[in-house]
Amino acid sequence: MGGISELGINWGVLVTQVVTFVILLVLLRVFAYKPLMRMMDERSKRVKDSVEQAEAVKEQSAKAEEELKKQLEQASREGQERITRAVKAGEEVKQKAEEEAKRETEKLIVKARSEIRQERDAAITEVRREFADLTVLAAGKVIEKSLDKEEHRELIDKVLEESSTLKKE
């Protein structure tokens, strides 16, 4: 043991220092290292949780953005469909209005033609009467005596009808 003494190492002090060091290590481990490690683990866990939450929020944001895009596309399609339906309905209304206007126009034309025919027939009848009266008057003047207007009118109507049927054939 002399060799260690020559180096200036005192066994009593060395053992005391080793025991003190071991006690210090045990105390540091119990009171400093474990709480420090626990605190570091908790901090690490909080950071990890925060990162996971951030990732979850990011994913939710991406999903929400994608869902919003889908909804916008759907709304756009629905809007286009509504516009198309409205245009189609407008065209149908326009077409119905045009058809109704054509029908009304045709009715008016038919009515006008009918009225014109009636007025023409009335005018022809009036002209025949006047012609008959003039013919009777003229014949009366020619033969210088009064003729029976009714008989002559029937005779003239008969002649006019025969001439009109001959013209039509």
pLDDT in tens, 117-161: 999 888 888 887 777 777 766 666 666 555 577 777 777 777 777
- 54-73: average pLDDT: 94
169 or 129, greater pLDDT: 129
Mapping DSSP to helix (H, G, I), strand (E, B) and coil, where does residue 145 land?
coil
Running DSSP on this structure, what letter comes out for residue 33?
I
14 or 150, greater pLDDT: 14
157 or 31, greater pLDDT: 31
Q: How many helices (DSSP H) and strands (DSSP E) are in the chain?
A: 4, 0
Q: In this predicted structure, what is the pLDDT of residue 16?
A: 94
d(CA 127, CA 112): 22
65 or 142, greater pLDDT: 65
Q: In this predicted structure, what is the pLDDT of residue 161?
A: 76
**pLDDT over threshold 90, residue 165:** no
Tell me the per-residue pLDDT of 86-99, one tens digit each, with 9 for 90 and over: 999 999 999 999 99
**pLDDT over threshold 90, residue 30:** no
**pLDDT over threshold 90, residue 48:** yes
Q: In this predicted structure, what is the pLDDT of residue 2?
A: 57
**Mean pLDDT estimate for the chain:** 85
Mapping DSSP to helix (H, G, I), strand (E, B) and coil, where does residue 8 land?
coil
What is the percent of the chain with per-residue pLDDT over 70, rounded to a whole number?
Answer: 86
Q: In this predicted structure, what is the pLDDT of residue 10?
A: 81
**Phi/psi at 115 (nearest 5 deg)?**
-65, -40
